[in-house]
């Protein structure tokens, strides 16, 4: 079986070991020669170019994605040619347009913050007043890791976005006074089979996820966990999702409100590589190929994943330094903090606010897992953790 991944980032990179173990031939359409997933990059080109994508997909059995940005007309052309596009174009459309996502989730009945489409100053000011004087404004297309998001107290705070948004408008949402942010991951196969990983807590700083906490007990009440899986299943089935779905939510008391969706393996699920029977990357490949799904049970009591944001260029430069002693000194010093830590390096140039790797530690104690994971990530130059 041949599965193609459009996009050569770290998500495609982390599918490679899973594909090897399953005996699946993985091919990647990368944006550049030095992409994170260059080991499986059989093509390099623009995912927005029809000819490039159709040529890449010619001999593939399944096409899936490292990101959600492939234009709808290309996805529809692939489908029209009889290609198995997973997740389908109709589901990916929700992740491409935040306004369409909100409209679709509202029809499904998913719990959402108060929201509105706003196209001018009067509409935005009216919404801000209706939700208590402050709101979140998001650009509908693009934006991640805090980009394309603003907290506003008046329409003037987003006047530049309003003037350039045209008839599409902007997404305005209430500023939710949440207790914490959480993420529910599931995988849904082309056969309809679904598996859920445990609900996890995510810690965001400056709009970027820095920590993910997973625990077999005590992190969430049974009611919150059950509600999270119920919401995620309703969304997955309602939109015809295949593959891995991440439903990012706000927890307010015992209630949950949906914030964002990701139609692919997600940063909040990286802990599953080292802390679950089946990682999100293996499960995604199984799901899009229509294979039986694996167990999503945790293999340790408490798992913490710490993102390496920024990093030390000596280690993370995509070609490395060639200075073996420097690399050994940095990696050795980090691992000395916690020899049982699992370090995952993405092969990307290090720069401020960029995710260049992550560290996972699994123990019997959540505080101990977090202490060790943070210590190793900080030793590797992680920002916003110390």
Q: What is the 3-state secondary structure (H, E, C) of 225-246?
A: HHHHHHHHHHHHHHHCCCEEEE
- The C-alpha angle with vertex 358 and arms to 354 and 361, in degrees rounded to 5, equals 155
Nearest to 303 by CA among 373, 362, 374, 216: 362
Pairing state between β 194-196 and 84-85: unpaired
pLDDT at 375 over 80: yes
Is the pLDDT higher at 164 or at 197? 197
**DSSP, res 297:** -
Residue 300 to residues 142, 219, 276, 366, Cα–Cα distance (Å): 36, 14, 8, 10
Nearest to 268 by CA among 334, 193, 180, 148: 180
154: left (phi over 0), alpha (psi -120 to 50) or beta: beta
pLDDT at 363 over 80: yes
- The C-alpha angle with vertex 273 and arms to 267 and 278, in degrees rounded to 5, equals 115
Alpha carbon distance 308, 303 (integer Å):
16
Report the half-sphere exposure of 132 (CA within 13 A, side-chain side).
10
The tens digit of pLDDT for each residue in 179-196 reads: 999 999 999 999 999 999
Model pLDDT, residue 320? 57
The tens digit of pLDDT for each residue in 4-50 reads: 999 999 999 999 999 999 999 999 999 999 899 999 999 999 999 99
| Domains recognised in the chain with CATH numbers | 2-85 (3.40.50.20), 114-174 (3.30.1490.20), 180-379 (3.30.470.20)
Model pLDDT, residue 22? 97
Residue 245 to residues 29, 152, 184, Cα–Cα distance (Å): 22, 30, 8
Q: Residues 133-158: what's their mean pLDDT?
A: 85
Model pLDDT, residue 321? 57
| Mean pLDDT rounded to a whole number for the chain | 93
Q: Residues 371-379: what's their mean pLDDT?
A: 96
Q: How confident is the model at residue 123 (pLDDT cuts 50, 70, 90)?
A: very high
Other Cβ atoms less than 10 A from the Cβ of 151: the count is: 11
Q: How confident is the model at residue 206 (pLDDT cuts 50, 70, 90)?
A: confident
280, 195 contact by CB (below 8 A): no
Model pLDDT, residue 329? 87
pLDDT at 95 over 70: yes
The tens digit of pLDDT for each residue in 280-328 reads: 999 999 999 999 999 999 999 999 999 999 887 777 665 555 678 888 8
Other Cβ atoms less than 10 A from the Cβ of 289: the count is: 20
Nearest to 247 by CA among 296, 202, 300: 202
Burial tier of 320 (Cβ tally within 10 Å: 0-12, 13-18, 19+): middle
Model pLDDT, residue 137? 95
Complete DSSP assignment for 86-132: SS-HHHHHHHH-HHHHHHHHHHHT-----EEEE-SHHHHHHHHHHTT
Alpha carbon distance 113, 249 (integer Å):
10
Alpha carbon distance 144, 138 (integer Å):
10
Q: Residues 351-374: what's their mean pLDDT?
A: 95
The tens digit of pLDDT for each residue in 253-265 reads: 999 999 999 999 9
240: left (phi over 0), alpha (psi -120 to 50) or beta: left
Q: How confident is the model at residue 144 (pLDDT cuts 50, 70, 90)?
A: low
What's the first-to-final CA gap in the chain, in angstroms?
Answer: 45
Helix and strand numbers (H, E) in the chain are 13, 18
Question: Tokens 């997933």 belong to which residue?
Answer: 37
Q: Residues 101-105: what's their mean pLDDT?
A: 96
Longest dimension (CA), the chain: 61
Q: Residues 68-81: what's their mean pLDDT?
A: 96
pLDDT at 155 over 80: yes
């Amino acid at each position: 079986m041949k599965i193609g991944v459009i996009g050569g980032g770290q998500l495609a990179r982390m599918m490679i070991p899973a594909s090897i173990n399953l005996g699946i031939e993985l091919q990647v359409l990368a944006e550049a020669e030095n992409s994170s997933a260059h080991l499986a990059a059989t093509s390099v080109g623009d995912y927005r170019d029809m000819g490039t994508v159709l040529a890449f997909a010619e001999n593939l059995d399944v096409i899936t994605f490292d990101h959600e940005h492939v234009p709808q007309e290309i996805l529809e052309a692939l489908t029209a040619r009889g290609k198995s596009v997973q997740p389908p174009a109709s589901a990916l459309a929700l992740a491409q347009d935040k306004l369409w996502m909100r409209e679709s989730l509202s029809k499904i009945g998913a719990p959402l913050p108060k929201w509105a489409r706003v196209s001018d100053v009067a509409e935005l000011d009216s919404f801000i007043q209706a939700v208590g004087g402050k709101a979140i404004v998001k650009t509908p297309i693009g934006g991640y890791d805090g980009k394309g998001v603003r907290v506003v107290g008046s329409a003037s705070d987003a006047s530049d976005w309003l003037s350039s948004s045209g008839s599409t408008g902007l997404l305005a949402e209430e500023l939710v006074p949440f207790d914490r942010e959480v993420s529910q991951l599931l995988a849904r196969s082309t056969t309809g089979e679904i598996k859920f990983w445990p609900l996890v807590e995510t810690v965001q700083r400056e709009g970027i996820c820095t920590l993910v906490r997973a625990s077999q007990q005590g992190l969430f009440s049974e009611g919150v966990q059950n509600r999270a899986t119920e919401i995620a299943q309703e969304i997955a089935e309602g939109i015809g999702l295949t593959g891995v779905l991440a439903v990012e939510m706000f927890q307010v008391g015992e209630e949950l409100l949906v914030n964002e969706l990701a139609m692919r393996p997600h940063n909040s699920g990286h802990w599953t590589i080292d802390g679950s029977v089946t990682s999100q990357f293996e499960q995604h490949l199984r799901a899009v190929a229509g294979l039986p799904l694996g167990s999503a049970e945790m293999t340790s009591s408490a798992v913490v994943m710490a993102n390496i944001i920024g990093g030390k260029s000596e280690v993370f430069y995509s070609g490395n330094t060639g200075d073996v002693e420097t690399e050994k000194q940095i990696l050795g010093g980090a691992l000395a903090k916690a020899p049982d830590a699992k370090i995952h390096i993405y092969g990307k140039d290090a720069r401020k606010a960029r995710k260049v790797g992550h560290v996972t530690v699994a123990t019997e104690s959540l505080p101990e897992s977090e202490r060790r994971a943070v210590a190793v990530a900080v030793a590797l130059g992680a920002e916003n953790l110390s």
